[in-house]
Chain A
């Protein structure tokens, strides 16, 4: 009896979701490429459910593929109305309650569509990618793809992609104990067909003329030259972007982005306000945010990665001049 209990405990302690030496299945990697291609070329509109913990949010998403770049809109259907509009150049977030538009511009048009293409090799070094069964989501038959982390520095994922179009209909993120941290899932969806362009226009555009606009004014930057470095990244992560930007009204905030081919971790470096926050961790779904003080700067690390990875990065930030 005790022996069995012990084995049970051991099984619990072992990271069941970690795929140590398993090679990725080439057919599964091909599925990832297909999912990516579908996200670029398909037009769709549907209702979408986001779940994390006991929180459930329903939104409407419409995406219109266009040779000149995609037009996308997300609008919340529960709670406070919000809208996010994404185009080739920028993402604008409209908050009618506070009468604010937040605009985040892509550094270059190149960035966004090409971002994923070259990274499947890198991704498969950090995750074991395998095909699962075919399951139904929102009425569509979907191929299940498992992405199992090769170590504890990243989360596991499971994707459901429409067998016919390759479109990603559902994703789940798993923690190191194989618990579901977050789920995105379409509950109703129309792929292709005639989608009204009005559906991707901001509802608040006319009224928003008088709203407060917070523009990120992002620009490429050499933060290492300015003295800011991430001494060592967690295994499998590397720096992919360095920029300066305006954040919450503070200009000149440094941002360093690290990626493992799938998950990203951002480091924000800004002058600390009068009241320096206590160091600590905030979690939002699969996103961990860790803050600490370094000299008279506040270091904030945000990533869809385990708390340990995010803290690892925060502790590795240094100023060398």
Chain B
């Protein structure tokens, strides 16, 4: 039954089974507990818990019933990783505890980018300030960003001293470098 539950979590459960399983999860306290635990562990592994861990856990528990739906297939990757990591361990709660204690308590947001930059080998110019993690990043095509950079560069006074050099910003590969 638990493997059906995991398939449900990953959005891989056939539709006919879905209709049978969902009411059962709703009625069966044990199944519901497993469902909650799966999500908690999955969330913890994905680093969703921030500084206010206890409140976050409580809130997540309250919110669980609202996510009783197959996940869109685009999110399956993360879900599956979480589940495999979890099923390899003996006890769910033990895993959850390990994950929780392993998480740094004071961490504003999962910041893989900043961490990666900090642990990188010797790079002459360090990525010192990534954009604030809380700041949303608009979905804009690279070509569009380039248009703005080109249009701006002409009026930037630094180009009066540096000549054409600053235009390299507009032709540089690996855009978004500051955030990766």
Chain A interface residues (CB < 8 Å from chain B): 32, 35-36, 39, 48, 50-55, 57, 59, 61, 63, 70, 72-74, 76, 78-80, 82, 84, 86, 91, 93, 95, 98, 102, 104, 106, 112, 115-116, 119, 159, 168, 171-172, 175, 177, 179-184, 216, 240-241, 245, 247-248, 255, 257, 259, 261-264, 266, 268, 277-285, 287-289, 291, 300, 302-304, 307
Contact = CB atoms under 8 A, between A and B. Distances in A.
Contact of B138 (A216, A264, A291): A291
17 contacts: A39-B163, A50-B165, A53-B126, A74-B165, A76-B172, A86-B164, A91-B167, A112-B160, A159-B161, A175-B129, A245-B151, A277-B140, A280-B137, A281-B131, A282-B131, A284-B169, A302-B151
Given A91-B153, A281-B135, 10 more contacts: A80-B173, A171-B162, A241-B155, A245-B151, A257-B152, A277-B139, A284-B178, A287-B169, A291-B140, A303-B152
Nearest to A86: B164
Contacts of A95: 171
A100 to B, nearest CB: 9
B170 interface: yes
B179 interface: yes
B160 A116 contact: yes
A138 B176 CA distance: 29
Contacts of B167: 74, 84, 86, 91, 93
B118 to A, nearest CB: 11
A27 B139 CA distance: 46
B154 A106 contact: yes
B84 interface: no
